[in-house]
Structure 1
Amino acid sequence: MTMRTLQRLLALALLGLAVPATAQRTGEGSVYSRFGLGNRVDYASSQLQAMGGGGVALFNLNYLNLSNPATWSEQVLTRATGTVVFQRLWATDASGNTTRLGSGALQSVHLSLPLRTRRIGLGLAFRPYTRANYLVRTGALLAHPELGDTIRYQIDYAGEGGLQQLNAGLGLYVHPRLSIGVRADLIFGIIEHTRRTRFFYPDLPGVMPTEYVPTLFATATRLAGARATVGVLLRLPAGRRPSDALAFGLTFSTPTTLRGTRVHTLGESLDRDTLGTPQRGNVYLPLSISWGVSYQKDNRWTLVLDGQYEPWSRFRSDLAFAGYNPDGENLFKDRLRLSAGLEYLPAGTDFSAAYFHQVAYRLGLYWERAYVDPRPDTPLHTLALTAGLSFPTLFPGTRLDVNLEVGTRGTTARNLVRDVYYRLGLSVNVGERWFLQRRFN
């Protein structure tokens, strides 16, 4: 490992350390993340994030594709990547009231190594699986019988946390047409929902009546479990040039059981009283199937089409969640995601071309039907456009990516909320040859 490599990895570390200064705080995400285990989060690579988020059948020497471990087989360089995402969201209710929210978070960190160049590749990653982050505020006037006055009470329903996943796996080159891969996924995290009640005098902002005690009731659920993911990549020639290629990809993630522990507390974080004994139970996550096709022409044009299906209608849990009760309500539905993306790299593999000819230009879109309905028979849909630029640097094998996503989620019908958001992603992708054997003449 060279000093230059250490400098690049230090830049990645500083990128991660810079996040807490603008870190996501409670209430700065979608209100729909209160349902189930939170909003599902898909992230494959900074390249694919700008191309609709699919890419099950796409291999690229400059990126580790987390959507399919079979694509890890043909790695040449050791790669380390870090991604930060900043979000701005406008939430509009049925009355036309709009709330503006902003946040930032570390999206993904991953490392890949070619154990045998273009034959066996190792991939490691840390990324979100679900995310819960919302704030719903209600309040009204309450008569004060002793003083003959009125006070205002306010209740804040908030949530934060979510599930993360650690990925580790291998990609294996089997045949010039075929690669396979296997990945172990450790899913874990804490999801906390709180209800804070406070009282105020309407004419004296900030002054709290002493006759009423503010309360904070919290429910924290800790979950952990593991699953396996298997991927296949089939490559076919397409066109007159050897660089033209058509590929098909397929992945299958097994159903899994998460062990859960739920604790109810009363009071602030430093002075909480536990209410009752912890609840324990299992949460059964469904399988996941992803498929895709990619077409690459002349090392300049790349097209991807993808789909993903998760039968969340088979979800079962010993613990209750918003939208699901073991003894009654079940608003969970099958999740479906469709995406398409396009990349244009004017220079192709000509590294002596002008700088802006070596910049990659990307566009994409996706549509998603969420795994839980906010109300019975009211599906939650997301539609988004994506775009991005990938800039080469003075260091061969290292690129800087800037991505943008603009989308809408939900509806104002039936007293629901419509989200309009944009996300800005910044990624540093470091690549270099490691573990070279020195030869002496």
Structure 2
Amino acid sequence: MNMPAFHRLIGLLLVLGVAMPVAAQHTGEGSVYSRFGLGSRLDYASSQLQAMGGGGAGLFNLNYLNLSNPAAWSDQVLTRASGTVVFQRLRATDASGNTASLGSGALHAVQFSFPLRARRIGVGLAFRPYTRANYLVRTDARQIIPELSDTVQTRIDYAGEGGLQQLNAGLGLYLHPRLSVGVSADLIFGIIEHTQRTRFFDPELPGVIPSGYMSTLFATSTRMTGVRATVGLLLRLPTGTQGSDGVAVGLTVSTPTVLRATRVYTLGESLDRDTLGTTRRGDVHLPLSVALGVSYQQDNRWTLVVDGHYEPWSRFRSDLDFAGYDPNGENLFKDRLRLSAGLEYLPAGTDYSAPYFHQVAYRLGVFWEQAYVAPRPGVSLRTLALTGGLSFPTLFPGTRLDINLEVGTRGTTAHNLVRDTYYRIGLSVNVGERWFLQRRFN
């Protein structure tokens, strides 16, 4: 093992932790739509693909671990590790034109991969988000209490935090110059908490709590865990006169899975909460997931990807209720559909002696998504976004620094809903080195 490379890897990943002190924390500074279902559904394949629309099920790449398809893990030469942090700024607008600006940041994903046999068998490990709940909604109103002949100012804060994470582990296998297959086991786990905090104030004396009134905090905390399998295929079809030119088609299927869930209800004053009743347990059934992608690469300079992703959430079933889903009644969940396309241009190709800015990769992409949750019956929640990014080589061969940008809009102000306009900035460090070399003596 190359120890200097190992130290450099650890050092660069620590930079991400120092630069992101709020990593892995939730601040209530996300979309109000994340209160529905299990939270906002998130996708992450690699820092390269995030700048290219987020697809990539049909892409081979030596420089990144492609989480869109485990079959692509067979095509590895270097041991690789990467870490990604994301900063988001969101502007929410309601039907009356009122706006709110929110900001947040989080550690987004960590990846590690290595070849068991170069360009034949590769192993991949990753930690990334699956869903995220991160919102805060405040309502203020005057309330008349007839029994007390009194009027009070009521403030209710609805907040949510947490989400489900994925821990992926698997391998890719090269079967034929045209075909690779892969499989991964995906542990899905996490805690989602929703709270309702009610406070009372004297309407004539703002900030003063009237005598006889007590603030309350009601919360539900749901812990879930389960395992699913993902199977992938990648078919490579060379074209043109250049050996590096080619079209690849990829297909992945993630099996339906059952999450074991435990929910606890709590009620108390301020942060001193007492458990209510007994703990509820039940099963949460996640649907299958299917992705189909096509990529085209020309002379190691141009890369084009087009993808489609489908999840039949309309078949979602759960013993526990969620916003938008009642086991004994209404189900507002819809089938999730995501379409994306992206382009990368690397002027130098594989010429590592080219000028620096010829070795910078330039990326652009777009995606459209219909979310799996519906905030109202008969209403679909859609997102349209543009993505882009730059990938910079560093002084260390095999190591690149990626900066990505995503700008999009979600939802609508019709039907008394909210339209989100947001941008996200991602920073990733991708380290690659040859490890586990057998030393030879002359």
Which TM-score band (shorter chain)? Answer: over 0.9
Paired residue for 1:212? 213
Instruction: Kindly report which structure 2 residues correspond to 1:120-139, keeping only aligned pairs within 5 A, or say none.
Output: 120-139=121-140
Say which is worse superposed, 98-107 or 1-10, in terms of deviation.
1-10
TM-score by length of 1: 0.97
Say which is worse superposed, 412-421 or 197-206, in terms of deviation.
197-206
| Contact kept? 1:343, 1:360, Cα under 8 Å | yes
The superposition leaves residues 249-277 of structure 1 with CA deviations (integer Å, 9 ceiling, x where unpaired) of 00000000000000000126853211010
DSSP-derived class of the 1:6 partner: helix
Paired residue for 2:161? 160
| Contact kept? 1:185, 1:229, Cα under 8 Å | yes
Paired residue for 1:295? 296
Instruction: Kindly report which structure 2 residues correspond to 1:290-439, keeping only aligned pairs within 5 A, or say none.
Output: 290-439=291-440
Q: How many percent of aligned residue pairs carry the same amino acid?
A: 77
The superposition leaves residues 274-301 of structure 1 with CA deviations (integer Å, 9 ceiling, x where unpaired) of 1010001000000000000000001100
Paired residue for 1:87? 88
For the pair 1:239 / 2:240, whether they are aligned, the reply is yes
Say which is worse superposed, 85-94 or 19-28, in terms of deviation.
19-28
Instruction: Kindly report which structure 2 residues correspond to 1:178-189, keeping only aligned pairs within 5 A, or say none.
Output: 178-189=179-190
What amino acid is aligned across from residue 316 of structure 1 in structure 2?
A: R
* Partner Cα separation in structure 2 for residue 408 and residue 57 of structure 1: 27
Paired residue for 1:30? 31
What amino acid is aligned across from residue 228 of structure 1 in structure 2?
A: A
What amino acid is aligned across from residue 364 of structure 1 in structure 2?
A: G
For the pair 1:260 / 2:255, whether they are aligned, the reply is no
Over the aligned positions, Cα root-mean-square deviation in angstroms equals 1.5
For the pair 1:108 / 2:109, whether they are aligned, the reply is yes
What amino acid is aligned across from residue 279 of structure 1 in structure 2?
A: R
Against the structure 1 CA distance between its residues 285 and 60, is the aligned structure 2 distance closer, same or farther, given a 3 Å change threshold? same
Paired residue for 1:119? 120
DSSP-derived class of the 2:272 partner: coil
Moved >4 Å (runs of 4+): 144-149
Paired residue for 1:249? 250
Kindly state the Cα deviation for residue 201 of structure 1 after the two structures are TM-superposed.
Answer: 2.3
What amino acid is aligned across from residue 91 of structure 1 in structure 2?
A: A
What amino acid is aligned across from residue 138 of structure 1 in structure 2?
A: T
TM-score by length of 2: 0.97
Paired residue for 1:195? 196
* Partner Cα separation in structure 2 for residue 189 and residue 385 of structure 1: 29
* Partner Cα separation in structure 2 for residue 235 and residue 18 of structure 1: 40
Paired residue for 1:140? 141
Kindly state the Cα deviation for residue 16 of structure 1 after the two structures are TM-superposed.
Answer: 2.9
Say which is worse superposed, 409-418 or 20-29, in terms of deviation.
20-29
| Contact kept? 1:23, 1:103, Cα under 8 Å | no
Paired residue for 2:61? 60
Against the structure 1 CA distance between its residues 269 and 80, is the aligned structure 2 distance closer, same or farther, given a 3 Å change threshold? farther
Q: 5+ unaligned residues in a row in structure 2: which ranges?
A: none
Paired residue for 1:277? 278
Paired residue for 2:14? 13
Kindly state the Cα deviation for residue 239 of structure 1 after the two structures are TM-superposed.
Answer: 1.0
| Contact kept? 2:91, 2:100, Cα under 8 Å | yes
DSSP-derived class of the 1:267 partner: strand
Kindly state the Cα deviation for residue 9 of structure 1 after the two structures are TM-superposed.
Answer: 1.6
Say which is worse superposed, 84-93 or 25-34, in terms of deviation.
25-34
DSSP-derived class of the 2:386 partner: strand
DSSP-derived class of the 2:27 partner: coil
What amino acid is aligned across from residue 315 of structure 1 in structure 2?
A: F
What amino acid is aligned across from residue 139 of structure 1 in structure 2?
A: D
* Partner Cα separation in structure 2 for residue 22 and residue 128 of structure 1: 13
Say which is worse superposed, 311-320 or 11-20, in terms of deviation.
11-20
Kindly state the Cα deviation for residue 14 of structure 1 after the two structures are TM-superposed.
Answer: 3.6
Against the structure 1 CA distance between its residues 281 and 148, is the aligned structure 2 distance closer, same or farther, given a 3 Å change threshold? closer
DSSP-derived class of the 1:104 partner: strand
DSSP-derived class of the 1:400 partner: strand
| Contact kept? 1:196, 1:215, Cα under 8 Å | yes
The superposition leaves residues 297-355 of structure 1 with CA deviations (integer Å, 9 ceiling, x where unpaired) of 01100000000000011110000000000100000111000000000000000000000
* Partner Cα separation in structure 2 for residue 24 and residue 414 of structure 1: 32
What amino acid is aligned across from residue 138 of structure 2 in structure 1?
A: R
What amino acid is aligned across from residue 366 of structure 2 in structure 1?
A: L
What amino acid is aligned across from residue 51 of structure 1 in structure 2?
A: M
Kindly state the Cα deviation for residue 210 of structure 1 after the two structures are TM-superposed.
Answer: 3.0
Q: 5+ unaligned residues in a row in structure 1: which ranges?
A: none
Against the structure 1 CA distance between its residues 390 and 316, is the aligned structure 2 distance closer, same or farther, given a 3 Å change threshold? same
| Contact kept? 1:411, 1:418, Cα under 8 Å | yes
Paired residue for 1:51? 52
Kindly state the Cα deviation for residue 22 of structure 1 after the two structures are TM-superposed.
Answer: 6.5
